[in-house]
Structure 1
Amino acid sequence: MDRAELTETLEDAGLSPYQADAYVTVLELGAAPVTRVADVSGVPDPRIYDVLRDLESAGYIETYEQESLYARANDLDEITDDLESRAKRLTAATEEIERRWNEPSVERSTVSIVTRFETVIKNADEFIREAETQVNLSLGVDHFERLRPALRAATDRGVRVNLSIHTPDGDGEVLPDAEDLAGICSEARHRRVPSPFVVIVDRTKTCFAPHAGSTNEYGVLVDDRTHTYVFYWYFLTTQWDAWKSIYTTRDDEPPIDYIDIRYCVRDVAPLLRDGATVRLRIEGTDTESGDDRVVEGVLSDVVVAGDDDAVDADTVASYGGRVGLVVETDGGPVEVGGWGAMVEAVEAHRITLVSVA
Structure 2
Amino acid sequence: MNESELEASLETAGFAPYQASAYVALLELGAATVPEIAEKSGVPDSRIYDVLRSLESEGYVEVYEQESLQARVYDHERLQEQLRERAELFSDAREEIERRWEEPPMEETVVNAVTRFETVVESAADAIATADTQVQLSVGLEQYRELRPALRTARENGASVYLVISTPDSEALPDPESVAAVCTEARHRELPSPFVAIVDRSKVYFAPHTDSANEYGLIVDDRTHAYVLHWFFLTNQWTVWDSIASSGQANGEYIDVRYLVDDLEPLLENGKRVRVHVDGADTDSGQRRSVEGVVRDVVYENDGAGPTARGGRVTLELDTDAGTVEVGGWGALVEDIEAHRLRVESVT
Provide the TM-score with structure 2 as the length reference. 0.65
1:322 counterpart = 2:313? yes
2:274–2:346: 8 Å Cα contact kept in structure 1? yes
1:206-261 deviation line (CA, Å, top 9, x unaligned): 100111122221100011111111111111111111111111225797xx333321
Residue 234 of structure 2 corresponds to 236
- Matched length: 242
1:90-143 deviation line (CA, Å, top 9, x unaligned): xxxxxxxxxxxxxxxxx9952111111111011010010011111111111011
Q: Distance in 2 between matches of 1:346 and 1:112?
A: 31
Q: Distance in 2 between matches of 1:108 and 1:252?
A: 35
Q: Distance in 2 between matches of 1:216 and 1:333?
A: 51
Kindly provide the amino acid, as one letter, of the partner of residue 294 in structure 1: S
Deviation at residue 153 of structure 1 after TM alignment? 1.5
Q: Distance in 2 between matches of 1:334 and 1:248?
A: 30
Residue 60 of structure 1 corresponds to none
1:209 to 190, 196, 207: 207
1:342 counterpart = 2:340? no
1:280–1:352: 8 Å Cα contact kept in structure 2? yes
2:184–2:250: 8 Å Cα contact kept in structure 1? no
1:227 to 221, 225, 228: 225
Residue 152 of structure 1 corresponds to 152
Kindly provide the amino acid, as one letter, of the partner of residue 256 in structure 2: D
Q: Distance in 2 between matches of 1:237 and 1:324?
A: 20
Secondary structure in 1 matching 2:286: coil
Cα gap change, 1:298 to 1:180, in 2 (>3 Å): closer
1:307 counterpart = 2:303? yes
Residue 265 of structure 1 corresponds to 261
Secondary structure in 1 matching 2:306: helix
Q: Distance in 2 between matches of 1:292 and 1:135?
A: 17
Q: Distance in 2 between matches of 1:153 and 1:331?
A: 35
Residue 163 of structure 2 corresponds to 163
- Over aligned residues, Cα RMSD in angstroms? 2.0
1:299-338 deviation line (CA, Å, top 9, x unaligned): 1100121121415xxxx4x253221101122333221101
2:177–2:245: 8 Å Cα contact kept in structure 1? no
Q: How does 1:275-290 map to 2 (within 5 A)?
A: 275-290=271-286
Return 5+ residue gaps in structure 2 as ranges. 1-106
Residue 270 of structure 2 corresponds to 274
Kindly provide the amino acid, as one letter, of the partner of residue 140 in structure 2: G
Return 5+ residue gaps in structure 1 as ranges. 1-106
2:179–2:245: 8 Å Cα contact kept in structure 1? yes
2:254–2:260: 8 Å Cα contact kept in structure 1? yes
Q: Distance in 2 between matches of 1:248 and 1:139?
A: 17
Residue 356 of structure 1 corresponds to 347
Q: Distance in 1 between matches of 2:341 and 2:238?
A: 19
Residue 124 of structure 2 corresponds to 124
Kindly provide the amino acid, as one letter, of the partner of residue 312 in structure 2: G
Deviation at residue 196 of structure 1 after TM alignment? 0.7
2:262–2:306: 8 Å Cα contact kept in structure 1? no
- Report which of the two structures shows the higher radius of gyration computed on alpha carbons: 2
Percent of aligned positions that are identical: 54
2:185–2:250: 8 Å Cα contact kept in structure 1? no
Residue 323 of structure 2 corresponds to 332
Residue 110 of structure 1 corresponds to 110
1:251-305 deviation line (CA, Å, top 9, x unaligned): 797xx33332122212222111111111222222121222222222221100121
Q: Distance in 1 between matches of 2:108 and 2:294?
A: 44
Q: Distance in 1 between matches of 2:266 and 2:205?
A: 36
Secondary structure in 2 matching 1:238: helix
